[in-house]
A and B are shown apart, each in its own frame.
Chain A
Amino acid sequence: MSTVRSRGTLAGTVLKWVVLTAIALVMLIPMYILVISAFKPQAEIIQQPLLIDLSTFTLEYLKEALTSEKFNVVRAYGVTLSFVLMVNVLGIALAAPVAYVIARGRKKWHLGMLLLFVSGLFIPGQVTLIPVVFVLRVLGLINTVPGFILFETAATLPVTIFLFSAYLRTIPRDIDEAAALDGAGQIRAFWSCIFPIMRPVVATIVVLNSISVWNDFVSPQIILGPSSGIYTVTTGVYSAVGQYSTDYTVVFPTLLLAILPAVIFFVFMQRHIIGGLVAGATKG
């Protein structure tokens, strides 16, 4: 690459860095404002957006947002995190065995099953949401956690099964036979011998599913609904910030608290997140 770069003129290089720096500033300034504004009174947020004055620096608004009666953010962290865990465990428990059957089978119905699941990749969730409400109402699961988990889990199946079965095809069949020789049944052999080998692709899926469940707004808003009294981070932010969008001493601290877990997750899992997104997009 160095030979390539040396061909660029000095002006070109300068222009490149000016452009990149400008974009970087546009990307970072909103986040910077979000963070510092969480510690400032309203007047100062508006008059001095970029500065932080130590004499008016205050934790009061952040504390208010943390203890707000409208939106219990700590509880919402717990609720959303437990949804993320449930959907991950249930989704993987359902998807891994069926992906194994699909990957090892060579009959038409195996391919048919794969196509059935993959068709889900092309169906926008919003399209099925209305009839899903109908199905859940019939089952008596509307506005309940099991109903929500059922829908979110089903929504993860297409990508999960697609990536799992693609991965399992790369695992030699010898391992199946070795496991069978142990005398273990097919199901036990799968969970004890094959599933542990799937670790990399399971990690990818956990990352993808966690981000999508954590950030989902429409499904919890519609399926759980305000009547359930259960708020995720997104539906809680919507109910807390929705009405007060010009009271910045509510908006910024609430938004800061809402993004904090996602940002921490991103900082630690960045490589996995990017790798997972690339795998999910290019293989799917």
Chain B
Amino acid sequence: MTATVTAPPKAPQQPHARAPRRKPVRSRLPDLIMAGPAVLVFVLMFIVPMILAFVLSLTDWNGYSLKFDFIGLENYRFAFRNPRTVDAAIFTAVVAVVGTTLCNIVGLAVAVLIAAPGRVNTVLRTIFFYPYIISSLIIGFLWSAMLQPNGVANSLLGHVGVGPLPFLIDATWAKGSVIATILWSSFGFNMILFIAGIKSVPTEYYEAATVDGASRWQQFRAITVPLIAPVLTVNLVLTLVGLLKVYDVVLALTDGGPAAGTQTIVYQILKDSFARSALGLGAAQSVVLLIVTAIIGLAVTFARRGAEQKVAA
């Protein structure tokens, strides 16, 4: 096996092309059998659909039959001119940017406070993290039940003489409620990654800094932040890319309302595709989302790589 692989693959040197006798015959066929099924399934369910997304975005496919006509760039033109889609895109961008900022600030702040080992910190970590493993659809329904006009939150506020507040029935409040629910349910994930990053920082650095008289804030700025730069990158990319496709929590919390004020791009895509049977239009918006996601993901990764290298240098 080793011999086969390390041998330089220069066939021209050996005119009788068969190279080392038994190895290729032995390893090729099993390789194919071992790799084939996974490649087949993946190509069928990922690569072919990727290409099809582009093709279908140029059609008026309704999803039910297999018949459709090509209508050029009409879907894209419609999507970009449709105020519904534009509003959804703006709200999605707000959720992604504000949500990512809040989740990472809170996640990092809490991580710094409870990164040290200890029983209390372990319990706190569990408390902050647990919503992450619950389906975001159910999180959305839970908060929807609590934030209704006659719900638990307003009842509690009433006891202290406040409210009732229009958490879900005023468009601006509803936008805030969506972001707050996302923060509640997912900063724990960012926190867990930050804690893993902080734990990988050698404690000697902090000890040395303490001896030198550095304050805790100075230690945070000069040691923690630079050394967890790669974790910060991962956190930013994952949260940002994840929030660009936010859907479940919105569906359950506000169902896109009130007055379509909290519709996100994926909400729009699925509504057009399956409630309005315009899958061609849905595909066009998906393609735009894919391109935007890829650009943002790559941009943040490269921008952060710059920051990480500056630290390393």
Contacts and interface: CB of A to CB of B under 8 A. Distances in A.
Interface stretch (B83-91, B94-102, B150-158, B169-177): B150-158
Contacts, number: 266
A22 B5 CA distance: 59
A151 B41 CA distance: 9
A270 interface: yes
A130 B239 CA distance: 24
A234 B215 CA distance: 49
Interface residues of A, number: 100
A10 to B, nearest CB: 14
Main secondary structure, interface of B, reads helix
Contact of A1 (B129, B193, B206): B206
Interface stretch (A66-74, A96-104, A196-204): A96-104
A75 to B, nearest CB: 18
A130 B1 contact: no
B133 A266 contact: yes
A23 B53 contact: no
Interface in A54-113: 94-95, 97-98, 100-102, 104-107, 113
B290 A127 contact: yes
Contacts of A192: none
Interface in A17-36: 19-20, 23-24, 26-28, 30-31, 33-34
A26 B184 contact: yes
Contacts of B66: 134, 137-138
Interface in B67-87: none
B303 interface: no
Interface in A234-261: 234, 237-238, 241, 245-246, 248, 251-252, 255, 258-259
Contacts of A28: 127
A214 B141 CA distance: 17
B45 A150 contact: yes
A41 interface: no
B93 interface: no
B41 A153 contact: yes
A123 B290 contact: yes
B264 to A, nearest CB: 10
A217 B113 CA distance: 35
A122 B150 contact: no
A278 B129 CA distance: 13
A171 to B, nearest CB: 14
Given A4-B210, A123-B290, A130 B138 contact: no
B53 to A, nearest CB: 5
B19 interface: no
A135 B34 contact: no
Contacts of A126: 245, 247, 266, 269-270, 286, 289
Closest 8 CB pairs of A and B: A154-B45, A97-B34, A131-B52, A131-B49, A215-B135, A186-B30, A49-B152, A98-B38
28 contacts: A4-B206, A4-B219, A26-B184, A34-B142, A46-B151, A98-B38, A98-B39, A104-B1, A113-B39, A116-B42, A122-B294, A124-B290, A127-B287, A133-B279, A134-B49, A135-B44, A138-B66, A150-B41, A157-B42, A157-B46, A214-B135, A222-B274, A245-B148, A255-B141, A258-B138, A263-B133, A273-B133, A278-B192
